[in-house]
Amino acid sequence: MIWYFLYPFRGTTEPPSLSPAHPLRRSFTRYGREASRHPVITILISVALATCLIYPFPFLYTNNFTNGASNLPHHVWTAAQPIEENIGTEPDVVMRSIWVHGSYMKALRRDVLLAGLEIQDALLGQTINFDPKLSAGLGKPVGHDAPLSLEMRDSFHAINGLSEQSWFFHSPLLYWSCSPDAVTEDDDIVSTINESSRRSTSVNVTLRHSIVFSGKRFEDHRLVAADALVITLVHKLDSPVGRQWERQAQALAQSSNSPWRMYPRDGRVNNSQVYEFKFQPLSLQDDIFLAIAYIITVIYFLLSLTKLRALKSRFGLMLAVVAQTVISIMGSFTICAILKIDLSRIPREVYPFVVVAVGLENMFRLVNAVIITPSQSKTSSRIAEALGQAGPIALAGVGQDLLILYLLSKVVAPGVAAFCIFAAVALIFDFVLLLTFFVAVLSVDVRRTELSDSLETVKSQRKKLGAEKPKSTNAWLNAVLSGKTPISTRIAGTIVMICFILVLQGHFFNNESPLRTLSRALQFVRPDHQLSSPHPVSQLSVDINQARSPTAWLRMQDHETAREVIQVIKPDMHSYIARVYDPLVFVLDSSDRTPTNAGVRRFLPAAYDFARNQSTIFVVSVLIVVAAVSLLMNYLLWNEEDTSHDDDGTIHKEDPLMTVTTLTPGHDLDVVMLSASPDGVVVSVGLDRRIRVWDLRQNDRSHYISPTTNELYPFPILAMAIDEQAEWVALLSVTGRLMLWNINEKQWGPSGIIGTETRAPPLFSFKSPKLGAIASLLIVWTSGSLIEVNFHLESANQIVELQPWEGLIPSAKQFVAKPTTADAEPSLHIVVLTTKGTIHLASQLDDKWDSLTIPLFTPSNPQKVKAILPLPKIGLLLAITDTTAILIHISSQETLHTFTDLDARPQSLQCFHSVKRSAFCGHNGLASFSLAYNSRSTGNPIVRTYSPSQDGDLICTAPSQPSSNPPCNTWTSATLTIHKVPHDGAWQALPCGAIVGVTKHRASRPSSPSDSPSRSSSASGLRHRAGTPRGQKAEETDGWEAWTLSARGERHSVDLAGEGGRGEQLFVTGCETLARVGRRSVAVGFGNMVKVVMVGNERFEGEEGAGEVKLGRRRRGGRG
């Protein structure tokens, strides 16, 4: 809601998106990463917190208000609050009281009790063995100021019939039947008081400690001290007993030999306030309203839960939500009890609603933030990114709600104000549990996710891009559940909270007019607005250090006492109005009113009892619960594989195993060509002149591409490619025929003759099909010609041949640049390298190709570019020479940086980098940037990683360094880390932040870090390599292994041979054919077999809702 109020200043109602470098977002991101890496520890912390909050609950709440514990809310509305004295408001009764004080907190001493009894008898007449029933029927009219005999006084008592002269009183002296002899002879006054706490008066009003004592101190649920005796007279407006009380009080003030001091001195009490005391059960209307509110909330929760299609266990998520809500509510009850906040004024059914409404908003915000993160990212990265985005917004929302609750608590009724405090504490606990318990549960659920949508669904979504979707009848409902309506559900929780509190306040409108509430609101907003306080404070002429003020004491008089008094005064009603006069205070002479530590304590007495008597059991119980949950979590997650890749590709010990899958059946002869799609389709060509297609999305299902006629005989194959949707395979034969194979329908598509050259084309790839075409391809020949082929089903194929470049073309790369504006389309580019080292950049605009030359060197610097590597995701281009790699900004053709001293074989250089983020200056930035290549001197792979000097910063990729505060990190200030692989062999860089390769290991080779015990430990997520065939020891044979090296130099390996297809495996002498399948997978031509090496669980890149694929017949890095 705060974003709507800030709309005039910000121009938008959307919450701000903090940059990744913002300290608050970085803090949430860092915490989310650590919490998701260690979910068990995070859950145990939340369990310990929950136990600490729930365990004390039964010790702090009770239905007995006399034992120092807090009173449980009932199914009733209760109140003891001042109301405005309108013209039509007439009190039902008048309440007058006297407070008798001895020394500070020593009102239970015998001399104080006897003095109180003497004062009571002076005001009311003799009350020893008080039994008004004996005088029933003796009453008769008396004069206004005529003295009353005991019989006449008792005849007006309420027990003898309710009339306008009725009266009754409460007194602690009734514990001893108002007998001075009984008080004198009592050897254990404190025990008598505690044993008589349930004693009733003649009108069945229980003499609770709360109404006959003030400033009470409890220990072990027993009253041990009090500061004042409270004797209360309740009488009707025309009662002669009330007039006698006033006359006798003035007479006592005039007595000169009294052993006490009286306040006020003259015995006249003129200050009064009208109060309403309520004890109203829930009405049918209340029940219906609450039922509707909870039903709507449950329906919203269930509908929202069904929309979460990217989570494995919706039932588990539901349990997590319920558990978090219950813990928040119970924890808030516990804290409110400790702070002595009375929650019994509002029915117990009301309390969970606001917590549920607001808490669900934050939970679904976090879940939706996780869902929209790239599914191929590691769990820790997804949780970190989601919490970095949603955490600050949730924190702002909680802060906004706390401020609103604080403001509302200042203008609503006291019972509703207590509810506001409860809601505020519950929202704080809910937010804490969101960051601990819910984040941990969500990370475990995401780690175990198997997304329901297959890649076929993604493919159909791709086909529908740009097409207008029909409007469905429930589009508005889906928009509401997604928070995309004009007034977003982002503010629904806050609006519901405010409206609900106003509804609660409506239960007190019959006591206080809406105008009065508005006036108090204006008073809070405008301090200069004068208005009498609704909570008058009694002030004495002399401060006697009362342990509890009369106003604070009076506000405690509700609950069962109010119900019992109502039964006396207005039996058929649920409330009564009383004019309450300030108490007449008596202080015994020679009393010491200096405050001591024996006074009323700050927190709930039951909390002190709990700390003193239950602390040992409490600590042991928390430890037992944490230990039990720890064992349960270890059991439930025994077979789980943790994932924790950083953006820079670091592989942590929680990572899943490196796995090898053998695709069977294989070829009869060696595999010589491989092509793969990021969507999980692999096509292999063998010397046996067979072409096999594997679909890893369908459990490695495969089929052959079978020639049907001599025209469709593709061998020898010059080039091969797969389109982005994994629908078509393009084969270029040396005869010049270009053929299409439909992967899904397993049949030949259109074909055509395009001509050929002796060498394979530097570029042979699909492009987005033109309008009316089923597929389009781009071919760049070494001669410099560019051919665009558009295949049609109903018409002739279209072949366009251009000659945009001069000279021979040894290298050409195609890439699609993202649009710079929202309404622009992605643009297609080709970057080519000539044998002279010239770089040309061709762009297709409106079916026309425009080419420009990127100038790099001058005659004074005659270096020659040997290879090129576009990086379209970050808008950069690498130009590689013998000793350097030049980083070029594609849009501006500016040189950003030159990496020197590479000692690289130019054609081998590959690159991987972190996800681009917004740097301080607003341009793109990188957390890490890695160059991988083969050393020119040794041939072994080397990985050079550039990262900011300070953890969490970004390297700016802007073409020219703009000014920013703080300044951006530049390439020259980046930290360089170099890692080397001690063997040669083919390898491939992966977008996940590592390189994967294959090599031949020998029995006599020295042990490497990958062979250390830490690698084989099951706790680290790595296992021993597969054993050799029986009858043969490992150290007696040579073999092949797949290895991976992260940007931080962590290296792991796994046996490549495995068990799958061992009987069909040909002898392998070399392994140079590799193709990247996804972000974490590489297809390897291993003799006549095709193997897929996977780092972690592959979800395949770029697909929203794409399913996590777990390959079958997986060969892990060891036994067990």
Lowest mean pLDDT among 25-34, 115-124, 634-643, 898-907: 634-643
| Alpha helical stretches, state H, 962-1118 | 1013-1016
pLDDT mean over 435-457: 65
- Tell me the chain's radius of gyration from C-alpha atoms: 42
Question: Are 170 and 247 contained in the same domain?
Answer: yes
Decide if 170 is inside a domain.
yes
CA–centroid distance for 626 within its chain: 22
- Residue 471: its pLDDT value, please? 41
Question: Does the structure show a pLDDT above 80 at 7?
Answer: no
Between residues 1018 and 852, the one the model is more confident about = 852
Question: Are 939 and 1075 contained in the same domain?
Answer: yes
Question: Are 234 and 290 contained in the same domain?
Answer: no
Q: Token digits for 646? A: 């950083």
Write down which residue in 550, 573, 594 finishes a domain.
Answer: 594
Q: Token digits for 8? A: 């005039």
CATH number of the domain at 35, please. 1.20.1640.10
Q: Strands 584-588 and 93-101: what pairing?
A: parallel
Digit-coded pLDDT (tens) for 634-672: 777 655 544 444 444 444 444 445 788 888 777 888 888
Beta carbons within 8 Å of 365's beta carbon, 6+ residues apart = 390, 393, 394, 490
| Residues 333 and 350: beta-carbon distance below 8 Å | no
Query: Which uninterrupted H or E stretch holds 280?
Result: strand 272-281
Whole-angstrom CA distances from 353 to 290, 503, 577, 954, 1044 are: 9, 13, 31, 44, 52
| Residues 1065 and 669: beta-carbon distance below 8 Å | no
Question: Does the structure show a pLDDT above 60 at 779?
Answer: yes
- Residue 190: its pLDDT value, please? 92
Decide if 818 is inside a domain.
yes
Between residues 535 and 866, the one the model is more confident about = 866
Question: Does the structure show a pLDDT above 70 at 615?
Answer: yes
| Residues 327 and 54: beta-carbon distance below 8 Å | yes
Which residues span the domain enclosing 886?
658-1115
Mean pLDDT value across the chain: 77
Question: Does the structure show a pLDDT above 60 at 502?
Answer: yes
Write down which residue in 594, 621, 639 finishes a domain.
Answer: 594
Question: Does the structure show a pLDDT above 90 at 112?
Answer: yes
Distance CA 761, CA 2 (A): 59
Between residues 492 and 295, the one the model is more confident about = 295
Question: Are 38 and 145 contained in the same domain?
Answer: no
Cα of first residue to Cα of last residue in the chain, in angstroms, is: 55
pLDDT mean over 246-271: 87
| Residues 78 and 559: beta-carbon distance below 8 Å | yes
Lowest mean pLDDT among 326-335, 345-354, 969-978: 345-354
10 band by pLDDT with thresholds 50, 70 and 90 = low
pLDDT mean over 868-879: 89
Total count of domains within the chain: 3
DSSP type of residue 435: I
Query: Which uninterrupted H or E stretch holds 181?
Result: helix 180-185
| Residues 1043 and 1010: beta-carbon distance below 8 Å | yes
Query: Which uninterrupted H or E stretch holds 230?
Result: strand 228-235
3-state secondary structure of 860: coil
- By the 10 Å C-beta count (0-12 exposed, 13-18 middle, 19+ buried), 985 is classed as buried
- Residue 484: its pLDDT value, please? 43
- Residue 48: its pLDDT value, please? 92
Decide if 355 is inside a domain.
yes
- Residue 1071: its pLDDT value, please? 76
pLDDT mean over 335-346: 84
Question: Are 168 and 239 contained in the same domain?
Answer: yes
pLDDT mean over 882-905: 87
Residue in the block written with tokens 């009080």:
249
Q: Which amino acid is at 471?
A: K
Question: Are 750 and 771 contained in the same domain?
Answer: yes
Q: Which amino acid is at 435?
A: L
Q: Token digits for 563? A: 């119900």
- Residue 647: its pLDDT value, please? 41
Question: Are 262 and 288 contained in the same domain?
Answer: no
| Residues 535 and 551: beta-carbon distance below 8 Å | yes
837 backbone φψ class: left, alpha, beta (φ>0; ψ -120 to 50) = left
- Residue 1005: its pLDDT value, please? 43
Question: Are 873 and 796 contained in the same domain?
Answer: yes
pLDDT mean over 932-961: 84
Distance CA 417, CA 405 (A): 8
Decide if 649 is inside a domain.
no
Q: Which amino acid is at 465?
A: L
Decide if 386 is inside a domain.
yes
Distance CA 629, CA 48 (A): 10
3-state secondary structure of 992: coil
Question: Does the structure show a pLDDT above 80 at 63?
Answer: no
Between residues 13 and 980, the one the model is more confident about = 980
Question: Does the structure show a pLDDT above 70 at 1112?
Answer: no
Decide if 541 is inside a domain.
no
Cβ atoms within 10 Å, residue 610: 20
Between residues 209 and 1068, the one the model is more confident about = 209
| Residues 79 and 508: beta-carbon distance below 8 Å | yes
Detail the DSSP E strand segments found in 30-160: 61-62, 70-71, 76-82, 93-101
Of 888, 943, 932, 939, residue with least CA distance to 910: 932
Of 58, 8, 570, residue with least CA distance to 279: 570
Question: Are 265 and 320 contained in the same domain?
Answer: no
Lowest mean pLDDT among 10-24, 593-607, 792-806: 10-24
Question: Are 896 and 825 contained in the same domain?
Answer: yes
Lowest mean pLDDT among 84-88, 116-120, 397-401, 688-692: 84-88
Distance CA 17, CA 11 (A): 14
Torsion of CA 469, 470, 471, 477, to 10 degrees: -60
The two counts, helices (H) then strands (E), for the chain are 26, 49
Question: Are 63 and 119 contained in the same domain?
Answer: no
Distance CA 312, CA 640 (A): 14
Distance CA 435, CA 398 (A): 13
Question: Does the structure show a pLDDT above 70 at 557?
Answer: no
Q: What is the DSSP string of 1025-1070?
A: PPPPPTT--GGG--EEEEEEEETT--EEEEESS-STTGGGPPP-S-
Question: Does the structure show a pLDDT above 60 at 1108?
Answer: no
pLDDT mean over 186-215: 88
Distance CA 837, CA 502 (A): 76
Question: Are 262 and 346 contained in the same domain?
Answer: no
- Residue 9: its pLDDT value, please? 55
| Residues 154 and 161: beta-carbon distance below 8 Å | no
Digit-coded pLDDT (tens) for 146-191: 788 888 888 888 888 888 889 999 999 999 999 999 999 999 999 9
Detail the DSSP E strand segments found in 637-727: 658-663, 671-676, 681-686, 691-695, 701-704, 717-722
Compute the C-alpha angle 805/807/813, nearest 5°: 60
Between residues 707 and 930, the one the model is more confident about = 930
Beta carbons within 8 Å of 93's beta carbon, 6+ residues apart = 234, 235, 236, 237, 569, 576, 578, 579
- By the 10 Å C-beta count (0-12 exposed, 13-18 middle, 19+ buried), 772 is classed as exposed
Distance CA 229, CA 213 (A): 5
CB burial string 255-281: b at 16+ within 10 A, e below: eeebebebbbeebebeebbbbbbbbbe
Decide if 770 is inside a domain.
yes
Q: Token digits for 797? A: 């194929």
Of 287, 344, 283, 272, residue with least CA distance to 574: 283
3-state secondary structure of 284: helix
**Range from 539-548, 706-715, 739-748 that averages highest in pLDDT:** 739-748
| Residues 442 and 383: beta-carbon distance below 8 Å | yes
Residues of the chain with pLDDT > 70, as a percent, come to 75
Q: Give me the sign of the Cα torsion angle 365, 368, 370, 374.
A: negative
Digit-coded pLDDT (tens) for 681-726: 889 888 888 888 888 877 657 888 877 666 778 888 899 999 888 8
1060 band by pLDDT with thresholds 50, 70 and 90 = low
- Residue 480: its pLDDT value, please? 47
Between residues 1096 and 3, the one the model is more confident about = 1096
Decide if 555 is inside a domain.
no
- Residue 229: its pLDDT value, please? 93
Q: Is the peptide bond before 264 cis (omega within 30 degrees of 0)?
A: yes
Bridge partners, residue 661, by sequence: 1092, 1114
